[in-house]
Structure 1
Amino acid sequence: MSHIVVERKRRRQMNEHLKVLRSLTPCFYIKRGDQASIIGGVIEFIKELCQVLQALESKKRRKSLSPSPGPSPSTPRTLLQPTLQLDSPFGNGADSSKELGVSCNSSVADVEVKISGPNVILKVISHRIPGQVAKIITVLERLSFEVLHLNISSMEDTVLYHFVVKIGLECQLSLEELAMEIQKSFCLDAVN
């Protein structure tokens, strides 16, 4: 009899923990109410929070190294630094061996572009700027990309845009050029 009571208590405790996890996770991460979906959604949410945290730490380190307030109208291009993705602030070191990618960072935004199968993964971390996501989508469409999926995560005044985009047949850009084009949409805001 005690084994049955112990098992009921364990199940009740598991259900309570799953309820708490579900309440702490934004609803769009959890597609269904079963245990596997709840745990999978929580894992995805935690991964995104880790990416935001690492990006914020990276930005904090960069600010401590260069105390300049931001790009000036005469030098927005000099602050852009495209680099091959070896140690990205987005925390995907394990995936970088399988996927070709670049990062383009500035004091305004961190942009990471990777090829993943037939699509491009675009991640942008910046301060919250009203209308910026629409500007990024406009740039992507102008460059012959089709947005398949967009996920937006925010914490205080920082936002992470995570795009999955399909490469159009007319597109002739390299990953570095795409990262620079996305970065330019932020630089124009900083200048204006």
Structure 2
Amino acid sequence: METPAPTTTTTNSRRKRRRTRSSKNKEELENQRMTHITVERNRRKQMNQYLAALRSLMPPSYVQRGDQASIIGGAIDFVKELEQLLQSMEAHKRTTQQPQHDAYSSPFAEFFTFPQFSTRATQCNSNQQQPMAAAAATAESVADIEVTMVESHANLKILSKKQPRQLLKLVAGLQGLRLVVQHLNVTAMNEMALYSISVKVEEECHLSTVDEIAAAVNQMLGRIQEETGF
């Protein structure tokens, strides 16, 4: 009769391997946790350094508190003010360099890249044949309008002739479309006004594309012109 093989040594060996694996797993988890803590600490340190640098570049009046939201919000306001100043300086520079502007030129012309509506295109093509698509896009333009959009935030550039209470009516109209005005810059030159407007598109807004927003603004300005008799 054969003697059964001893199992004690085998069982002990398996237990040791399990304890070794368990110990290694705990060490790996602890190393991962410490690595994550270190990475997060470095990220926060770098973020604080960037925020401090950003705050140092702004006048104190733009940052009332030192928290992250206040610094970023102040930076946005400061950049918007710089944008308005740049627009005014560029427009003034072009006006002084070219004092005589024809009907199709404007000191604000270069501020528009791909406008959805353009009065200049309409005027330039009024005595020329133009493709049907281009004619449809510009035939009813009452202002130069360019809209860009990132997620739920849209930026509007509007170049229009100055009219009484136009800005007030424009802001009220945007609010009615559920486009909440967050930042607004106005640059005026001669009889023209350039509006740079940042809006937040609310969930209740039925306008979902840049073309729809531009068309709605164009219609709004058309109504304002009719009301003022221009």
TM-score in terms of structure 1 length: 0.51
Aligned equivalents of 2:223, 2:214: Cα separation in 1: 15
Aligned equivalents of 1:59, 1:161: Cα separation in 2: 15
Q: Is 1:66 the counterpart of 2:126 in the alignment?
A: yes
- Structure 1 pair 175/123, CA: closer, same or farther in 2 (3 Å)? same
The residue correspondences of 1:27-176 to structure 2 (distance < 5 A) are: 32=59, 45-46=85-86, 49=90, 52-54=108-110, 60=120, 62-66=122-126, 81=137, 106=141, 108-173=142-207, 174-176=209-211
Q: CA deviation at 1:144?
A: 1.0
User: 2:194 is matched by which residue type in structure 1?
Assistant: L
Q: CA deviation at 1:32?
A: 3.5
Q: CA deviation at 1:61?
A: 6.0
Q: CA deviation at 1:54?
A: 2.6
- Structure 1 pair 163/43, CA: closer, same or farther in 2 (3 Å)? closer
Cα distance per residue 1:76-100 (max 9 Å; x no partner): xxx7627xxxxxxxxxxxxxxxxxx
Aligned to 1:24: none
Aligned equivalents of 1:105, 1:136: Cα separation in 2: 18
Specify which structure has the higher proportion of strand: 1
Q: CA deviation at 1:171?
A: 1.2
User: 1:65 is matched by which residue type in structure 2?
Assistant: N
* Higher RCO (C-alpha under 8 Å, 6+ residues apart): 1
Aligned equivalents of 1:116, 1:166: Cα separation in 2: 10
Tell me the C-alpha RMSD between the 2 structures.
3.6
Structure 1: 5+ residue stretches without partners: 1-30, 34-39, 68-78, 83-103
- Structure 1 pair 117/45, CA: closer, same or farther in 2 (3 Å)? farther
- Structure 1 pair 166/183, CA: closer, same or farther in 2 (3 Å)? same
SS in 1 for 2:145: strand
Larger-Rg structure:
2
Count how many residue pairs are aligned between Structure 1 and Structure 2: 124
**How many percent of aligned residue pairs carry the same amino acid?**
25
User: 1:52 is matched by which residue type in structure 2?
Assistant: F
- Structure 1 pair 119/55, CA: closer, same or farther in 2 (3 Å)? closer
TM-score in terms of structure 2 length: 0.44
SS in 2 for 1:81: helix
User: 1:63 is matched by which residue type in structure 2?
Assistant: Q
Structure 2: 5+ residue stretches without partners: 1-57, 61-78, 92-106, 113-117, 128-134
